Amino acid sequence: MGRLHLLPFMVALPEPGLRVKVSVSTHNGTVTHSGLVLPPAAKGHLSIKLDNGYNVSYPGDDLEAWEALDAPHTAPVSDLHAPEEDGTLPRVRLIHTGGTIASKVDYATGAVDAKFEPEEMLDAVPELATIARLDAVKIGNMFSDDIRPQHWNIVAEACAQAFADGCRGVIVAHGTDTLHITSAALNFAFAGDERRPAGPIVMVGSQRSSDRGSSDATENLLAAVHWAAHGPLPTGSAGDAVCVVMHHTQSDGVMAVHSGLAVRKMHSSRRDAFQAVNGQPMATLTLTGHGFETHHFPWYQAALEAENNRPVAQRPTTYEPGVRIAQFIAGPWLHAEQVEAVVSTGVQGVVFQGTGLGHLPIDDTQNDAPENLRLWRVLTRCVNRELPVVVVNQCIHGPVDMNVYSKGRKQQAMGLLGHGISSTPETMVAKLHWVLSQNVDVKKALSANLCGEHRDVLRE
């Protein structure tokens, strides 16, 4: 234990990286915290990562005393105790890309780093050995905001190789921030051309790192492995070629299995951040004392029972990394010169997140908004140059329906695409990228339901 530091006057705060016990003055009196000192959240502040994983920050003037504590003991990476394999269980491959599920706190800085090795994840959750025979492949250690289309191709090929090696299912450990984008992209890679993967491909992440007391990583990973090992084989037509498994609610015990084409991250930090859009999850997995109990939602049970003749994709289709797609948000700040400037860079597609049912500011009914007419002219020129212009729904839930108002009918007459879609904006951008990569008819492919992206479940 270190020396107690009393602070009758303002003195130097403890350095980042120290483990300390502090007394802090608050409106409710003096409180005591123990944890790791982080780089300050603001100048003159003390920031601490508590032992339960949460961060707190106080002005330095509120610090009454602090005491240095011993650093926590961390077992060396080589000191692993992986359980023995059960040869009767299905083989599942864990493909590691990085993200919070594969992260630890860096005890030098207190920051969360994507550096958890696959073997460490398997060693940390010995219960996985009762569900499947697992092997792990690391193809990256990235936070998901750094993932690009070339990485989708790498992940898709790794999934195909796992099936070629005899795996029954595949887990992709991925950061949550763009997990729903990658899941949509992989769905089109394996099922956009009327095929399906050989087995379940499950994307999984966590909102809180694996070494935090509030982490959701363990239950998410257990449920993902269960679905990959024992879940139904994907139809490929119901948005289930690649699914996402995450917490169903804030509480532990129930995980949701979502279509990778109909899910979105809806909160920055909640454990149930991933929610179905325009429909319901495929299933829930409830953790009991005897393992997981599976409940299929009626729409997905019907899809499993329907006749499905899709062939297995031995190899996925791929994305052209050189494709550039511009995205804009409709509203009072959208101007023609912005669109012109970006289009002049040579993009292959333009996506607008439209308001309401999918509308853009292109009318000047009161003769006081000439900028709207300038935008209409720019979009008309884009269509005349055969540049795909797609309208998606910034409302997230609900369809794009350009038949309801005259504005929408005008947009359709202009040649703008997107009428009738019920997918998330991210799914439609991934679909546009996939369509452009395959050199197929853009208008025809965007309106078609290729692999479950346009499920008719808006009234469920």
Separation CA 144–CA 147 (nearest Å): 5
Pairing of strands 349-354, 325-329: parallel
Domain with 61 in it: what CATH number?
A: 2.30.30.520
Q: What does the pLDDT read at residue 52? A: 65
Average pLDDT over residues 210-227: 80
Q: Is the pTM of this model over 0.85?
A: no
CATH number (domain holding residue 217): 3.40.50.1170
State residue 227's pLDDT score.
Answer: 98
Q: Report helix, strand or coil for 140.
A: coil
**Whether residues 47 and 186 fall in one domain:** no
Angle between helices 179-191 and 149-164 (to 10 degrees): 60
Tokens of 98: 């990085």
74 falls within a domain: no
pLDDT given at position 82 = 60
Does any domain span residue 388? yes
**Structural domain includes residue 313:** no
In a domain, 358, yes or no: yes
- Cα separation, 413 vs 393, in Å, equals 19
Instruction: Give the type of residue at 186.
Output: L
Residue 47 sits in the same domain as residue 110? no
pLDDT of 323 > 90? The answer is yes
What does the block give as tokens for 253? 């015990």
In terms of Cβ atoms closer than 10 Å to its own Cβ (0-12, 13-18, 19+), residue 450 is buried
**310 domain-assigned:** no
Could you tell me the pLDDT band of residue 70, with boundaries at 50, 70 and 90? Answer: confident
User: Among all residues, which ones are annotated catalytic?
Assistant: 100, 176-177, 265
Same domain, 161 and 225: yes
Buried b / exposed e over 390-429, threshold 16 CB at 10 Å, is bbbbeeeeebbbbeeeebbebbeebbbbbbebbbbbbbbb
User: Is residue 63 situated within a structural domain?
Assistant: yes
CB within 8 A of 68, min separation 6: which ones? 1, 2, 3, 14, 18, 19, 20
Contact 20, 67 (CB under 8 A): yes
57 φ/ψ angles, rounded to the nearest 5 degrees: -145, 135
d(CA 226, CA 215): 19
Question: What burial class does residue 317 get, using C-beta atoms within 10 Å of its C-beta: 0-12 exposed, 13-18 middle, 19+ buried?
Answer: middle
What are the Cα distances from residue 202, in Å, to 158, 224, 409? 13, 6, 40
Which of 276, 305, 334 terminates a domain? The answer is: 305
399-426 confidence digits (pLDDT tens): 999 999 999 999 999 999 999 999 999 9
Do 381 and 280 share a structural domain?
no
- Please check whether residue 75 lies inside any domain of the structure: no
14, 129: one domain: no
Task: Please report, for the domain that includes residue 353, its CATH number.
Answer: 3.40.50.40
Q: Last residue of some domain: 26, 53, 68?
A: 68
- Which pLDDT does position 361 carry in this prediction? 97
Indicate the pLDDT class of residue 141, thresholds 50, 70 and 90.
Answer: confident
Residue linked to tokens 């509308």: 359
- Distance, CA of 442 to CA of 450 (rounded, Å): 12
Residue 216's region, left for phi above 0, alpha for psi from -120 to 50, else beta, is alpha
Q: Which of helix, strand or coil describes residue 369? A: coil
Domain encompassing residue 408: 325-447
Count of Cβ atoms closer than 10 Å to residue 125 Cβ: 19
- Alpha carbon 219 to its chain centroid, in Å, reads 17
Q: Which residue carries 């993967």 as its tokens?
A: 197
Domain count, the chain: 3
- Structure tokens of 177? 């921030």
pLDDT at 380 over 70: yes
At residue 92 the predicted structure's pLDDT band, cuts being 50, 70 and 90, is very high
Asked if 361 and 404 count as a contact pair (C-beta separation under 8 A), the reply is no
- Mean pLDDT is lowest, of 136-140, 148-152, 242-246, 348-352, for 136-140
Same domain (yes/no): 293, 382: no
- 242 or 67, which is more confident? 242
How far apart (Å, rounded) are the C-alpha atoms in residues 36 and 26? 20
Contacts of 156 by beta carbon, 8 Å cutoff, 6+ apart? 186, 189, 190, 316, 318
Task: Give the highest mean pLDDT range of 51-60, 135-144, 256-265.
Answer: 256-265
Average pLDDT over residues 204-209: 80
The answer on 190 and 274 residing in a single domain is yes
Q: Are 208 and 217 in contact (CB under 8 A)?
A: yes
Produce one character per residue of 159-183: b if its CB has 16 or more CB atoms within 10 Å, e if not: bbebbeeebbbbbbbbbbbbbbbbb
Tens of pLDDT, residues 101-120: 655 555 455 555 545 555 66
Please give the average per-residue pLDDT across 448-458, as a whole number: 82
Same domain, 232 and 159: yes
User: Are 114 and 55 in a shared domain?
Assistant: no
Residue at a domain's end among 305, 340, 367: 305
Q: Distance between CA atoms of 106 and 58, rounded to whole angstroms?
A: 21
Q: Label residue 460 by pLDDT band (50, 70, 90).
A: very low
Cα separation, 51 vs 37, in Å, equals 11
Asked whether residue 150 carries a pLDDT value surpassing 90, the answer given is yes
Rounded Cα distance between 457 and 302, Å, is: 13
The answer to whether residue 85 sits within a structural domain is: no
228 and 332 inside one domain: no
Q: Which amino acid is at 370?
A: P
pLDDT level of residue 186 (50, 70, 90 thresholds): very high
Q: How high is the mean pLDDT of the chain?
A: 88
Query: Do 113 and 59 belong to one domain?
Result: no
The reply to whether 235 and 200 lie within a common domain is yes
pLDDT of residue 391: 98
